[in-house]
Structure 1
Amino acid sequence: MHNRLEKSKVEVVGLLGVGLDGTDNQKRITQSEQFLLIGGSAETHERMQETAIRFEEALEKRGKTLREAEPQEVMDLLRDAQRK
């Protein structure tokens, strides 16, 4: 028998967004299948929600789930979703 270490596949199982600029004592939490968004001002939380939606739409267009996407692909899609 060979004692060979197999390289584990890295997969992204979820994304966390944290807004730190909330000063109005509101607790803002949004959860989707792929994201958990917490905190932030109303404006920041809304921007995180919009980014999450654009990200999920782009991933769907590629016909992939989050777990199927390579980590670099996830980062690229997230970066693109933030720019719009």
Structure 2
Amino acid sequence: MKSNGPRKKKPTEQKDVTPQVAGVLGVGLDATDGHKRLTRGQDFLLAGGSEETHSRMQETMIKVTEKLGDRGKRIRDASPEELRDLIGEASS
């Protein structure tokens, strides 16, 4: 078989891509008690962490989903910036 060298890629058109939120993944890495903690919500998944850390992640997501609900939104409807701000407010 004859090789014609490396294939040249066709230039692709640049598309404007708007970042969207598909959901939230929270991971706690401080568990030392051997328990496996997992909490699933409509648009979020929280995994791991100590009892304290996991509870804090749960409380944060409850506050975030309540605030978004007051605005008639779900997590997946929020912009990344809006979600970042809400998580920051809820966790402080």
TM-score range, shorter chain: 0.7 to 0.9
SS of the aligned residue for 2:27 comes to: strand
Normalised by the length of structure 2, the TM-score is 0.80
Partner of 2:55: 46
Mapping 1:18-29, distance limit 5 Å: 18-29=27-38
- Partners of 2:28 and 2:53 within 8 A in 1: yes
Over aligned residue pairs, what C-alpha RMSD do you find? 1.5
Q: Which runs of 4+ in 1 moved over 4 A?
A: none
* CA positional deviation for 1:64: 1.6
Percent of pairs with identical residues: 49
SS of the aligned residue for 2:83 comes to: helix
**Is the aligned partner of 1:79 residue 2:88?**
yes
Name stretches of at least 5 consecutive residues in structure 2 with no aligned partner. 1-11
Q: Which amino acid aligns with 1:40?
A: G
Structure showing greater radius of gyration is 2
Q: How many matched pairs?
A: 81
- Partners of 2:21 and 2:80 within 8 A in 1: yes
Normalised by the length of structure 1, the TM-score is 0.87
Partner of 1:34: 43
Query: How far, CA to CA, are the matches of 1:21 and 1:67 in structure 2?
Result: 28
Name stretches of at least 5 consecutive residues in structure 1 with no aligned partner. none
Query: How far, CA to CA, are the matches of 1:33 and 1:8 in structure 2?
Result: 25
Further displaced range: 31-40 or 60-69: 60-69
